[in-house]
Structure 1
Amino acid sequence: MSLDRPIHADPDMPVALRAALEAALRHPPQRVQRVAAGGRAVWLKQAEQLSLRWRLQKGDTRRAFEADREGLHDLAALGLPVAHVVAEGPDFFATAEVGHSIAHLLRNAEFAGPDRIAACRAAGAALAALHRAGVAHGRPSIRDICWDGQMARFIDLERYRKGRAGEGQMALDVLILVHSMFAITRGPAAEIDAAWAAWRGAAPEGLLHAVRARARRARWLGVLARLGLRLRPALRELRAVPLTLDHVAAQGCDTTAP
């Protein structure tokens, strides 16, 4: 069966990996899948083909797919830390594998120690780099930040929007990052302190104030979350809400001192 979709790939992609990618594209599309060959791997992402019922339930997935692709290209052009698009076509793209997600590192005790602290510190610094460039990620959950032992890179930019972001959008980025970490650690942790200190030490001047202001406006969510925990005490995402708001409230406003 021949591949009837055009594919534009990096010229240095190994022949075996390109063949494996083309073979994956001949099968019914999957939203995301890992393709490996020749000692290298990529993550293949394809536009979902949904029925009307699923489009109504899941929203405009094609828009999210194109936002993801556009964000990866735009941020790479700015020299920002994102996974590199190594191949693409009209309804798919593939990014280089860039290590384990920070979420994976936090969930697995085998990664505990200085390397995990370094990964979380790099994640905070990477988010600050986006903010210095005037870019908001949109949903920088730690499952969408990968660490390869050297640097942290963002994947999954489905909420990316072109143009300079406002302080409110960047502040929400920070709250999402911290919340996603608390959802795993379930309490204060050195990894959260490392990510926070790295972001705070490199963030644009005044942005910490915007983060704290947004957290104050969201205090009612903390009240609702505590009430909800009486019914769902094991729900990590719910427990992480007041932890996040309390953590941010405890931070000072001097961005020059982590």
Structure 2
Amino acid sequence: MVAAICLAPAAHAALPLTIITLQHRSVDEVLPALRPLLSPGGQLSGINDKLLIRTDADNLRQLREALAAVDTPPARLRIELRTDRVGSELRRDIGIGGEVRSGDVTVRLPGQVPRRGASVDIGGVRAGVGESSRSMRRSGTQFVETRDGGAATLFVGTSVPLAFHQVFVRPDGVRVVRGTVYQDVGEGVLVRPTVVGQRVRLVLSPESSRQAGDGRIDVMRLETTVEGRLGEWIAVGGASAAEDTRESRGVVIGGSSSADSQSDAAFWLRVDTVGGARD
């Protein structure tokens, strides 16, 4: 349904107001695709299922052509998520252990000497230094189907049990409640796709989480909007985390260890129409 209304002289009085009723899509879905095409001095807004346009005849014709490509029945979309994660850890251990005797006095040094690395023996005492490193690379792909303009969540990971306890002070005494909750740990993303011709606009919130050595869960999250062509992998973001730990053993002399770790995660998305590419 289309209506053209000429208003009395005022701001933009030379431009008629055209009202277009949308058939398949919402105002929020079509406005981002039409606004870049609006001529300078024109106006474009919407309410409910109506578009309100003030512009010249040539630009109105251009907007109608673009709207015809956007205001279509929502297509079924297949969304693929690929996550690439790499990490590394460098660990250093220092230990001094053994016994020192002087007459009737024996001093025991409680440190543990690293099994690998350099060591030196001085009397009954051994001192050693060890260093080790490891690297990790992990990638995964998953997919889900949704409609154009809908939302989908993709997640790869596992559920980790976390124990908790709560203390309630009541008039009749103190009550302690203990239990276990489960937290999802892994990589995932919430995606809202909108297709315009052969291009797709994605509003997404990728997330990466992992369980640290002390039991806590580290979460990396971002939110962004990206665009790309249907059928092509789109880089949508990444995240990095670093951790530095130190541990000492013994009161004065014993041993110590340190570890430096780094992890990076990258997210890629590809969107295709189900049943073939759109013309």
TM-score (normalised: structure 1): 0.17
TM-score (normalised: structure 2): 0.16
- Structure number with the higher helix fraction is 1
- Structure number with the higher strand fraction is 2
